[in-house]
């Protein structure tokens, strides 16, 4: 009765604890909120992405953090923006997105990373080059063709000079076909390019590049080109063999290929 004498009213008060106890620090909480706001991930996706970084993380813990900050349900403006984004058409395996990104300068020298990812299996391939000229793009495509265990049918790139002549003015555009496009024709691959000033239409490879930057380029301070190559190899092996993707029913790209396609030597039979 002592607590009732001190109260001014007789209404029931909340039984929630005034001091919230959590094993997560402020940085880990902000990381969960960032994944929710920036990429609009579900609770299971956040758990899958952050469980290697945050120990003892489970979906209910993620939900409690989102509930505390009012993000257990995505805001209506986020949902409206998602509805405006058109989904990819259903293509078979062998539709590869290709792009190139800048690597950090090492000893005042710039290098470039060519990246490729298959739309269906999410199997990725990367290669470090000293430049991003068309010769480097052609060499990357040759190695990508040998890397993928299935026939590449389509390739989607931007309009950079390493991939196409479309961005050049008409009066200086060469008569000969671009070497990258020429190689695609020889390999019976249909080369497509995105619309000008529409980089989001190649969003799958852009999202992969963001992951590569976050996991490697922005995480380490490289002291040599060999150190950079080592980290890139570790990343791509972990991505292809160990990364669980929701779109693949929480399988890694390699496991998805093993479960859904017959592998004959180094090639896949559909």
Other CB atoms closer than 10 Å to residue 47's CB: what's the count? 20
Facing residues of 268 across strands? 263
Q: Which carries the bigger pLDDT value, residue 106 or residue 48?
A: 106
pLDDT digits (tens, 9 = 90+) for 67-111: 888 888 766 655 555 555 455 556 678 999 999 999 999 988 999
Distance from C-alpha of 225 to C-alpha of 105, rounded to nearest angstrom: 9
Given CA atoms 20, 25, 29, 30 in this order, what sign does their dihedral have? positive
* Domain range list for the chain: 23-84, 95-269
> With contact defined as beta carbons under 8 Å apart, do 60 and 24 qualify?
no
Task: Name the band, by pLDDT with cuts 50, 70 and 90, for residue 137.
Answer: very high
Task: Name the band, by pLDDT with cuts 50, 70 and 90, for residue 112.
Answer: very high
**pLDDT score at 142:** 95
- Answering whether pTM is above 0.85, one says no
Polymer length in residues for the chain? 270
Task: Name the band, by pLDDT with cuts 50, 70 and 90, for residue 217.
Answer: very high
Question: Quick one: how far is CA 206 from the chain centroid?
Answer: 7
Segment 66-75 long-range contacts (CB within 8 Å, at least 24 positions apart): 66/32, 66/33, 66/36, 68/20, 69/33, 71/33, 71/36, 71/37, 74/36, 74/40
Q: Angle at which helices 43-50 and 26-39 pack, to 10 degrees? A: 130
Other CB atoms closer than 10 Å to residue 203's CB: what's the count? 14
pLDDT digits (tens, 9 = 90+) for 252-270: 999 999 888 765 444 444 3
**pLDDT score at 238:** 94
Distance from C-alpha of 217 to C-alpha of 232, rounded to nearest angstrom: 9
**pLDDT score at 270:** 37
DSSP, collapsed to helix, strand or coil, labels residue 185 as helix
Q: Which CATH number fits domain 95-269: 3.90.550.10, 1.10.3720.10, 3.30.420.10, 3.30.565.10?
A: 3.30.420.10
């Amino acid at each position: 009765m002592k607590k009732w004498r001190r109260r001014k009213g007789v209404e029931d008060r909340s039984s929630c604890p005034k001091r919230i106890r959590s094993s997560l620090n402020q940085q880990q909480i902000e990381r969960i909120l960032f994944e929710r706001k920036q990429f609009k991930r579900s609770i299971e996706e956040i758990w899958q992405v952050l469980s290697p970084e945050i120990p003892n993380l489970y979906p209910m813990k993620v939900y409690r953090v989102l509930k505390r900050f009012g993000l257990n349900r995505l805001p209506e403006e986020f949902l409206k923006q998602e509805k405006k984004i058109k989904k990819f058409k259903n293509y078979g395996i062998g539709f590869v997105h290709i792009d190139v990104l800048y690597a950090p300068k090492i000893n005042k020298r710039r290098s470039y990373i060519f990246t490729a990812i298959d739309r269906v299996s999410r199997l990725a391939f990367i290669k470090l080059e000293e430049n991003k000229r068309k010769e480097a793009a052609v060499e990357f495509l040759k190695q990508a063709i040998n890397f993928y265990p299935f026939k590449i049918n389509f390739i989607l790139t931007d309009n950079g000079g390493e991939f196409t002549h479309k961005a050049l003015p008409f009066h200086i555009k060469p008569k000969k076909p671009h070497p990258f496009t020429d190689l695609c024709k020889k390999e019976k691959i249909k080369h497509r390019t995105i619309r000008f000033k529409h980089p989001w239409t190649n969003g799958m490879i852009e999202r992969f590049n963001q992951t590569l930057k976050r996991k490697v380029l922005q995480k380490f301070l490289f002291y040599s080109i060999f150190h950079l190559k080592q980290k890139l190899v570790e990343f791509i092996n972990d991505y292809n063999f160990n990364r669980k993707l929701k779109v693949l029913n929480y399988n890694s790209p390699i496991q998805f290929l093993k479960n859904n396609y017959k592998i004959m030597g180094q090639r896949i039979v559909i």
